[in-house]
Structure 1
C-alpha cells in the first residue's frame, strides 16, 4: 500500500511584513529568499518580532486578540501594492498601466489600493516602521516624476493661498530627493501631493501646461496614506518644522476630500506639535534656523490661524490660537526669489508702465509684492476672530455661568460700523488687490488675481458673520444675498476652482441666508425675488463645482428644490397677486384674487401678524403673507438647523 500523502499545511509563521498587514505570506522564486509580498514591495523579509506563546494564560478567562479592521472612507483610502522601483517606468503611460496591473492581484476588499496601509503596528515590543518607510520610499521612487509634477502644480493652485514652502529651495530639495532621506520632509511632501492631486481631480487646473488625467494617478488617497504613515506612533517624537507643516497640509487636504473629522484630527495634531515647539512665539524658535525657515514658519503660523477661524465659523468649535497670544511677525512682503539663505535682497524699482490705474504718476513708487494682499487677508481674519467672539457672547448665558463680558468690552459694533472701517482699509489697498482680471498662466500676474479673489471671498464671509448676529428683514436679506452673489459672479471662475472646496462653503452662507427667507413668512413678491436669487446661485454653483469630486451636484439639488416649491405654488397657492394699470385718477389699487377652494387652507400657514388686505389696499400697504410647508424645506444642499453651531452660519454643503 502506498504511503498516505502528507497533508499540506500553511506556513506556521508569517514574516514580519505580512504579519504586520494581516495578509497571506506565500513563497516566491525570489533569489533573495523573500516571500512574494516582500519581493513585490522590495523590502527585507524578516522574522525579528518576538515570539509569543499560544493559548490562554493561566488564571485568565480568555485572551481574545482583537484585530482592528480598518474600513475605507472617502478621503482616507488605504493604499494597495506598490511595485518595486526597478519595475517602474518614468513615462505616464507605463506608470498608469503599472498601477492598473495591481487590480488583478488579490486584495482584502477588491480595491487595488486597499491591501496596504492598515495602520501602525500595535504589537507590544515590536515595531517594523523601517519596513513601512522602505515600502513608501519604494512608492516615492517609482512615482518620482509624478511627485515633481505635483510640486510644480502646488505653486500654481495652492501656494497663492497657502504659501507654506519657499519655492526655489523646496523644488531644489525635491530634485535632490532629500525627501527620501528626511522623514519629516517626506511626510510634508506626500501631503502636498495628496492635496494637489485632489484639487487636480476636482478641476482646479487652469494652466494649459497640465492635463488632469496625468496628475490623478496614483490617486490622492495614496499620497495621503503615505503622509499619514510617515508620522511616528508617538507624536512627541515628531520633532521639527516639517511635521507641523505636514499636519497643516493634511488638514487642508481633508477639507478638499470632504473628511471634516480628519480636518479636526490633523488640526489638533498641528496645534499639539506647535505648542510643544513654541511656534506661537518667535523667541522660542531654534536659534540656528535660517532666513528661509523663519519666513516659512511665519507663513505657516498665520495660514493655519486663518484656517482655524474659518473652520470655527463653518463647522463650529473653538478657536485654538488667539492673536493676543501670538508673538509671530507677518511674513516679509517679498517674493521668494528675493529671500535667500544669505539674506534679503531688494527687488528692482518698478517701471512706470507697471503702475496701476489707481496709482499717481510722478510719485515715488515701490514695487508691490503679492504678499501684501496676503497679509491683508490675515488682517480680515483677525477682525473675524473678534466678530466671532461678539457673536458667541449672546449664547454665553446658556451655560449657566455669570456674564463677565461687560466688565472688559463695550457693546458689539453693528455690521454697518464694522464694514465701514473694513472697506476704508480695502480702499487703501493698491489697485492690484481690488481688481480680479482673468488668469493669464503667468504666475507673476496671477498671484495678484488670487489675492484679490481671496480678499473678496473673505470680505463676504466677514459680512455674513456680522449679519448672522443681527435681526434683519426679508428685503434686507435679499439685498445682501444679491450683493454677495454679484461679487462672486464677477470673479473669474478659474480662481474659484483653484481655491476649490473651501470656497464652496462661502457660497453656502449665501444659501443659508436665502433658505432662511424661504422658511419665514413670504409675500408673492418676496417669493419671486428669493426664487430668482436661488436660481442665480445655482448657475454660479454650476460654473464653480464642475468636476468637484466631493460636492458635485449641489447646483442640481438646489434647482430641484426650487422646482418642488414652484410645483407647490402652482397647485396649492391660495392667493394670486396682480397689479393692474393705475386708474385715471392716479390712485394705485392692488387686485387680490382669492381662489374658492382656498377658503379653508389645509397646508398653508398664514403669518400671525399679517395685516388683512382688501380690494382697496394700496400698493405700499403690507401684502398678505403666507408660509411654505416645512416638508418642502428639508432638502437644501446646506443645513439650516444651526443649533449645533451656537448661532453661527452653518456654511457647509452636504
Structure 2
C-alpha cells in the first residue's frame, strides 16, 4: 500500500520583513536560514516584533448583526485576514504587484543595494517606521529601470504644464539614486511615477520612443502608495520643498484617477506645508538656496495656484492663496539648461542676417513666456470667480459689504476684449498649435499654445455663467468653444488628459441648459448638431482614457432617444445620428461635416439668425426624463460650485 505524501508544514509566523509588506513568507534553502523574500532582497530575516495573542480580547462583545460589508474600518488581505486600515493600504500594493517577478529581480551584487540599509536623510525626514521604509526602498530598487523611464516621460507629457522639477538636476539625482537616501525626494519621485504611469495608461503618450504597455508595471497605484507612505505622519517633520511637491503631485494624480476627495486631501496638506514653510513669500525662504531651487519654488507656487483656481471652479470650495496675498515672482523665462546652481546664463543669440545686416538680435523666446501668460489668465479667473460667487453671497444672511470696495462687474464682452488684446500681443509660437513632432524642445511651445486655448475657453465659460443669455447666444458660444478644441492636435489634448474633460463639461452644461428650456425646431436642430460634434471630439479623446470610455456613445444614444421622441410626438422624419469619424479622419485631425439632416426638419432660416414668427409659435419642451441621465449636472441651484464642469 502506497504511503500518502507528507503535507508541507506551513510557516506559523511571518518574519518582520514579510509581515510589514503583507506578503507570503515561505521557506527557502538559504544557508543563513532566511525566508525566500529576505534571501532574494538580501536583508536580515528577523522575528523581533512583539507577539500578539489571537482571538477576541476578554471583556469585548461582537455584534452578531454586523455584516462584513459594514466594516469600513478594515480590509482583508489575500488570505482573508482582517488588517488594519493603515496596513490595508499597504497590502493593496502587494496585491497589485509590489515587485517584479523573480526572473526580473535585480542583481543582488549590484551597487543599488549598497544604500538599502542606510537611513533616510535627516534633513527632511523622520525615523518612525524603519521596516516600512526598507520595504519601499526595496520596491524602488527593484523598479529602478521603470522609475528612470517614467521620469523621462514626465518631461514629455507632464512637465510642459507642471514644470515642478529642474530637468537636468532631477534626472541626475535619480541616476545617482539620491531618492533612496532622501525621504522627501523619494516621496516626490514616487508621486511623479504614479502620475506619469496613470497618464500613460490613459493614452497620453505621443512620441514613438515609448511603448505604453512597458510603462504600466508596476502599476500607478503601487507608486501612489509608496509616495503616500513616505509622507511623515507628523507634518511638522515634513520640512523642505520635496514634501510640498510630493503632495502637489499626488493631488494632480488624484484628479487623473477621478479620486476627487484625495485631491482635496493632498491639496489641503500641500497648503498646510506651504503655510508652515512660508512658500507664499520669498522673504521667508531659506537664504542659502540655489537659483535652481529658487526657480523650482516659484514654479511650484504658481502651478498649484492655477490648480487651486481650477479646482474651485470645477468642484467648488475656496481659493486658498490669492494673488494679493502672494509675494512670489514669476519663474524666469529661461530653459532649464541656462539655470545652474551657480546662477543664470543667457542663451546665445544667433541672429538671422539679411542683405542689410542682422534682422533680429533679440534672445530667443522661452516657452516659459507662454506658461507665465497662462498664469496671468488664472489670476484674471480668480477675480471672475469672486464676482460670480457674489451672486450667492446674499443667501447667507449677511450684510453686503463688498460693493464698498469693488466696482460693478465687467461684462463678458469687455473682459474678453481686454484678454484677447493681451493674447494678440503674444509671440506667434503661442498663438499657433502645430502638430507634435516628438522633439520636446519644439513641442513645449505647442503645449503652451494648447493650454492657453483651453484656459481662454474656461475663462469665457465662467464669465458667461454670470450672465443671462438666450438660446442662440448659448449655441454660438458652444459652437465656438468646440471649434477651438477641434483645431488643437489631438496629441496635446490627450496629454492634458483628464482635466480637459472638465473643460468639455462646461460645454455640455451650456448645451444642457438649452435642452431643458423651451425649444423650437431650429434651436433643437442646432443643439443636436453641436452635441454630435461634441460626441466626435470625445471619441477622439476617449481612446485609452478610461474615465471617458463610452462617453461619445452615451451622448449619441441620448440624441437618438430625443430623436425618437421627436418622431413619435411631432411626426418628423429624422435620420439616425451619424457614426463617429473613421480612424483616418481622427489621425488627420479632420473635422467632420455638421450632421444636418435633410428633408422637412432642416431649418428654413440661417443658423444663428433670429427665429421667424412662425417658428417662435412652435415652441416645445422636452420631458425631464429624457434628460435624467445627462452626463453633466443640469440643476445647479444646490451646487457648491457655480459652474458644474465635473464629468459624470
Provide the C-alpha distance between the structure 1 equivalents of 2:570 and 2:363, rounded to a whole number of angstroms. Answer: 63
Deviating more after overlay: 529-538 vs 267-276: 267-276
Provide the C-alpha distance between the structure 2 equivalents of 1:620 and 1:626, rounded to a whole number of angstroms. Answer: 13
Residue in 1 aligned with 2:475?
Answer: 478
- Contact 2:374 2:455 survives alignment (8 Å): yes
Residue in 2 aligned with 1:454?
Answer: 451
Provide the C-alpha distance between the structure 1 equivalents of 2:466 and 2:43, rounded to a whole number of angstroms. Answer: 59
Provide the C-alpha distance between the structure 2 equivalents of 1:367 and 1:37, rounded to a whole number of angstroms. Answer: 55
The two structures have a TM-score, normalised by structure 1, of 0.81
- 1:563 and 2:557 matched: no
**Distance 1:25-1:67 versus aligned 2 partners, 3 A rule:** farther
Could you say what secondary structure the match of 1:569 adopts? helix
- 1:78 and 2:75 matched: no
Q: 1:199, CA displacement in angstroms?
A: 0.9
**Distance 1:511-1:8 versus aligned 2 partners, 3 A rule:** closer
**Distance 1:317-1:372 versus aligned 2 partners, 3 A rule:** same
- Contact 2:168 2:336 survives alignment (8 Å): yes
- Contact 1:74 1:257 survives alignment (8 Å): no
Aligned equivalent of 1:637, options 610, 631, 643: 631
Provide the C-alpha distance between the structure 2 equivalents of 1:55 and 1:219, rounded to a whole number of angstroms. Answer: 35
- 1:398 and 2:395 matched: yes
Could you say what secondary structure the match of 2:94 adopts? coil
The two structures have a TM-score, normalised by structure 2, of 0.81
- Contact 2:281 2:326 survives alignment (8 Å): yes
- 1:326 and 2:321 matched: no
Could you say what secondary structure the match of 2:274 adopts? helix
Q: 1:521, CA displacement in angstroms?
A: 0.5
Could you say what secondary structure the match of 2:548 adopts? coil
Residue in 1 aligned with 2:605?
Answer: none
Residue in 1 aligned with 2:181?
Answer: 181
Q: 1:407, CA displacement in angstroms?
A: 1.4
Q: 1:575, CA displacement in angstroms?
A: 8.2
Q: Deviations over 1:104-147 (max 9, x none)?
A: xxxxxxxxxxxxxxxxxxxxxxx972222212212211211111
**Distance 1:644-1:36 versus aligned 2 partners, 3 A rule:** farther
Residue in 2 aligned with 1:388?
Answer: 385
Deviating more after overlay: 15-24 vs 442-451: 15-24
Provide the C-alpha distance between the structure 1 equivalents of 2:51 and 2:25, rounded to a whole number of angstroms. Answer: 17
Q: 1:240, CA displacement in angstroms?
A: 1.2
Q: 1:56, CA displacement in angstroms?
A: 8.7
**Distance 1:353-1:521 versus aligned 2 partners, 3 A rule:** farther
**Distance 1:40-1:132 versus aligned 2 partners, 3 A rule:** farther
Q: Deviations over 1:511-536 (max 9, x none)?
A: 11011100111000000000000000
**Distance 1:55-1:528 versus aligned 2 partners, 3 A rule:** closer
Aligned equivalent of 2:495, options 498, 504, 511: 498
Q: 1:318, CA displacement in angstroms?
A: 1.1
Provide the C-alpha distance between the structure 1 equivalents of 2:141 and 2:318, rounded to a whole number of angstroms. Answer: 40
Residue in 2 aligned with 1:145?
Answer: 145
Provide the C-alpha distance between the structure 2 equivalents of 1:185 and 1:247, rounded to a whole number of angstroms. Answer: 12
Provide the C-alpha distance between the structure 1 equivalents of 2:185 and 2:152, rounded to a whole number of angstroms. Answer: 16
Q: 1:226, CA displacement in angstroms?
A: 1.3
**Distance 1:339-1:622 versus aligned 2 partners, 3 A rule:** same
Provide the C-alpha distance between the structure 1 equivalents of 2:196 and 2:48, rounded to a whole number of angstroms. Answer: 38
User: How do residues 574-585 of structure 1 correspond to structure 2 at under 5 angstroms?
Assistant: none
Residue in 1 aligned with 2:509?
Answer: 512
- 1:421 and 2:418 matched: yes
- Contact 1:291 1:341 survives alignment (8 Å): yes
User: How do residues 54-65 of structure 1 correspond to structure 2 at under 5 angstroms?
Assistant: none
**Distance 1:31-1:74 versus aligned 2 partners, 3 A rule:** closer
Q: 1:427, CA displacement in angstroms?
A: 0.7
Provide the C-alpha distance between the structure 1 equivalents of 2:91 and 2:316, rounded to a whole number of angstroms. Answer: 23
- Contact 1:191 1:224 survives alignment (8 Å): yes
Provide the C-alpha distance between the structure 1 equivalents of 2:544 and 2:101, rounded to a whole number of angstroms. Answer: 33
Q: 1:15, CA displacement in angstroms?
A: 3.7
Q: 1:640, CA displacement in angstroms?
A: 2.0
Q: 1:562, CA displacement in angstroms?
A: 0.7
**Distance 1:353-1:514 versus aligned 2 partners, 3 A rule:** farther
**Distance 1:418-1:227 versus aligned 2 partners, 3 A rule:** same
Q: Deviations over 1:479-506 (max 9, x none)?
A: 0000001111111111101111111111
User: How do residues 504-653 of structure 1 correspond to structure 2 at under 5 angstroms?
Assistant: 504-573=501-570, 622-646=616-640, 648-653=642-647
Residue in 2 aligned with 1:101?
Answer: none
- Contact 1:40 1:82 survives alignment (8 Å): no
In structure 2, list runs of 5 or more residues that go unmatched: 1-6, 64-70, 78-84, 108-126, 575-599, 601-610
Aligned equivalent of 2:75, options 65, 69, 75: 69
Q: Deviations over 1:338-377 (max 9, x none)?
A: 10111100111243389xxxxxx94653311000000000
**Distance 1:394-1:524 versus aligned 2 partners, 3 A rule:** same
- Contact 1:76 1:224 survives alignment (8 Å): no
User: Over alpha carbons, which structure has the higher Rg?
Assistant: 1
Q: 1:27, CA displacement in angstroms?
A: 4.3
**Distance 1:42-1:651 versus aligned 2 partners, 3 A rule:** farther
Residue in 2 aligned with 1:315?
Answer: 315
Provide the C-alpha distance between the structure 2 equivalents of 1:495 and 1:70, rounded to a whole number of angstroms. Answer: 41
Aligned equivalent of 2:104, options 70, 77, 88: 88
User: How do residues 95-174 of structure 1 correspond to structure 2 at under 5 angstroms?
Assistant: 129-174=129-174
- Contact 1:557 1:636 survives alignment (8 Å): no
**Distance 1:534-1:23 versus aligned 2 partners, 3 A rule:** same
Provide the C-alpha distance between the structure 1 equivalents of 2:457 and 2:502, rounded to a whole number of angstroms. Answer: 12
Deviating more after overlay: 501-510 vs 343-352: 343-352
Q: 1:55, CA displacement in angstroms?
A: 8.7
Q: Deviations over 1:50-84 (max 9, x none)?
A: 456789989x6679999732799999953335448
**Distance 1:38-1:338 versus aligned 2 partners, 3 A rule:** same
